[in-house]
Structure formats: C-alpha cells, structure tokens
Structure 1
C-alpha cells in the first residue's frame, strides 16, 4: 500500500494507516522510519496524524469560505472616483477612512483599492524631492566644509564676539578670534587668517557654511568670497540646526571651556580660549569621532589610530588571560 501525494484522506483511512504502521512495527521490529519510507508516508504527516488521533480529531478541518461582500453600488463608485480626483495625492487607505469620516461612502480599503485600480486613479508614488531639499552629503576629507558662527561673551564691562571656524569632517577648531565688534571686516579677517594656515586647498574649497547674519550679507563678505575662491553656503532661515555642529561646539565652550573667572577680564578670556582650543583639538576625545581627537581626523590617520586601539586591547586581553592562568594554574 502506498500513499498517493496530494490526496485528502478521511479520518477512517488515516486511522487504518496508523494501525498498519503499528502492526508492521510489532511484527517485523523495523524502525518506524523504514516502514514510512516503504509506504511513501512522510514522517511529518505520520506524526501529525498520530498527535491528532490522540486528540480524537483525525478528520480534516474544513474551512468554509466567507461569503463575498456585495459589490459597491454604482453611486458609491461614482462618489469614490470623485473624491479620489479631488485628492489626487492621497493613498487609497487614507481616502477610505476619510470618506468614512466625512460620510461620503462606507467601504473597506480593499474595495476602494479595486475601484481606483479599475479607473486608473491610484495615487502614484511621488517623485523624489529636488536636490535643494535633500540633506547634503557628509564631507569626506578635511577642509572641505567649514562652519562659521559668532558667539556672544560678556566680559566686564562689555560684550565681545567670538568667531569660530570649525572643520565639518574632523570637528577640528581651525581658527578662532575674540573680536571687539561683530562687523563684516572682523569676520572676513578671521576667515582670511584661517585660509592662510592651509598648506594647500582644492578649487572652491573650503565651503563656508553660515547663517544669515548681517556680516554674511554685506558687500565686503561677498567680495571676499569671490576673491578668495571659496564657496558660500547659507543655512535655512531661522534654522540653527543647519549649522548644528558649530552650535554644539558653542555649547561645549560654555559647559567645559570657560569658567566665571576666565570671563572676568579680556586677557584671561584670551588665555582660557587658547588653552581650551588646544585641549579640544589635541586631547579631548570626541563622541562623533569614535572617541578619537579632532586632530586624528584633521591631520592624522584615524583608521591607524583605531587599529592601534584594538591592538592594545588584544595585548591586554592576552596579558590578563596569562595572569589568571598563573593564579589558578590552569
């Protein structure tokens, strides 16, 4: 007797087959798997039937198909089409529930989908946004993008203006200047000093990212950008997040860089800023740089520094293992 594949067996036939397998095993002593192979009965099917026999439910479960819902009426189809044409950018699920909420028609999403598909009214995927709305790619080398911003510092008896220039790729504080005014000439002078420090630079670089401050809208700034051969990039209006890396640096200045004593006099503030900028660039691990220092990305090889870390950790692990093996003698 062999099992025919894809055939549905009644509960009596299943019980008979289970009994045949059991009798064959008792009489011949063969393993169950060999008997099942001779009968072409899959072992998974056999054990499933056996489990269901213990539960007393060998009969197949009959699934009664649900009655198909009545088709939408012509009036409902017309209403759906009209609503879809009035909202061409809305997906069919949103259309469905909005029509229910607005008492237009009361249909299920799949019914609305079929109507829209039949009349070619399905919302098409929107084209990608223009390049101007996309987030710019991350810089991949030093001095490609610089962020510029001013920070107000009150040093008695007046306000001073700290101009920072931050390299976007490495978070290196390229240059800073504590100015008496916030006029355009002080900002252009600070950027010019930073550019003079570069050994070489690519055409159109660095790209200077800044807000819409009056310094960056002046004729002097525009003339400087043209003469220096750099690229001028303005952030979105009233959107400090566009210059967020430098905004975060300014927060770090306040939290870690300056004390009240440092801001008690102009010369003390200069000394504190010089000490702090050296520490920030050369000694302080940066969370955005895998806890390397900005100088490691700005003028060093970060991959080599990370590999060196892993080598030290591996050596320490071997030393630690040798220590404990010596302690326990194993």
Structure 2
C-alpha cells in the first residue's frame, strides 16, 4: 500500500482471530478491530467490493484458466486506475488517493502513535471478550 495501514476491521471469522495473525498485525503496528456480532452493515464497503468483483470480473473469466493471475492483475489495475466509483463521486480510487495524499500521515507518524502494550490478543467469542475487558478494568 502507498500509505500506512493503521487498523484492520474484519467480521468475526475464525481465521482473523488466530493468535499468529494477531501477533503479525501487532508486529506491523496494525490495530485489529473486529466488528460486533450481527453487524454486517459495518462491512458494507467490503461486501460491495466483493459484489463488484463477482459481477464484473469472476463472471467473465474461466476460473480454471492458466492465465488467471494475469487476468486478475489486469482487473485490479482497471478497478483502481480506470473504473470510476460512485463512492468517490465518479473518481477512480487512484484519483481519490491523490486527493487525500496531503492529509495522509507518514508511516513514522503512525508508528509513534501505536502502543503495542495497549493491544491485546482478542477472543473470537464476543461475550468472553467483553467479560475479559470488564475484568481488566477492575484490576
């Protein structure tokens, strides 16, 4: 990415709660912020992007094709550099990126504000996670 990733927001899929995944995110200074259960609206941008991929890319290619990697790279370039997006008022993602470039912090600035000791390995079970947070506040 041409900008520092500060946090990752996911659904509560088991794969995101793996201890190794969370440790890797911490090693890169990335905060892990899973959505509350039953909150699909918080993943709307991802869901919309996946729908676009399904309709505009995957439905037009043979998934068994030997050049699927090339086709995917071409699609990614088109999606980010040529295809306008209503979420960006008709601009492409790269045009929007350049609009925000001056407001985008440098990696060093983001790293200064990251405190790994304040990040903990999160539980997939939301109720248990809430109980653990309450216990820690009492200590």
SS in 1 for 2:63: helix
Q: State whether structure 2 residue 41 is matched by structure 1 residue 244.
A: no
**Is 1:276 aligned with 2:57?**
no
- Alpha-carbon distance between aligned partners in 2 of 1:206 and 1:257, rounded to the nearest angstrom: 29
Change (3 A) 1:238 1:272: farther
Query: Structure 1 stretches (4+) deviating beyond 6 angstroms?
Result: none
Q: How does 1:246-325 map to 2 (within 5 A)?
A: 246-265=46-65, 267-298=66-97, 300-301=98-99
Residue 260 of structure 1 deviates from its aligned partner by 4.9
Segments of 5+ residues of structure 1 without an aligned counterpart are: 1-196, 303-330
1:236 and 1:262 map into 2 onto residues whose CA distance is 36
Relative to its length, the structure with more strand (as a share) is 1
Residues 291-317 of structure 1: CA distance to partner in whole angstroms, max 9, x if unpaired? Answer: 01100111x237xxxxxxxxxxxxxxx
Where is the helix percentage greater, Structure 1 or Structure 2?
2
Return the offset for 1:243.
Answer: 1.0
Gaps spanning 5+ residues in structure 2: where? Answer: 101-139
Alignment partner, residue 215 of structure 1:
15
Work out which of the two has the higher radius of gyration on C-alpha atoms and give 1 or 2. Answer: 1
What is the TM-score with the length of structure 2 in the denominator?
0.64
SS in 2 for 1:263: coil
2:26 corresponding residue in structure 1: 226
RMSD value, Cα: 1.9
CA contact (8 A) 1:207 1:231 kept: yes
Aligned residues: 100
Listed as ranges, the matches of 1:200-211 within 5 Å are 201=4, 205-211=5-11
Q: What CA deviation, in whole Å up to 9, does each residue of 1:144-171 have, x standing for no partner? A: xxxxxxxxxxxxxxxxxxxxxxxxxxxx
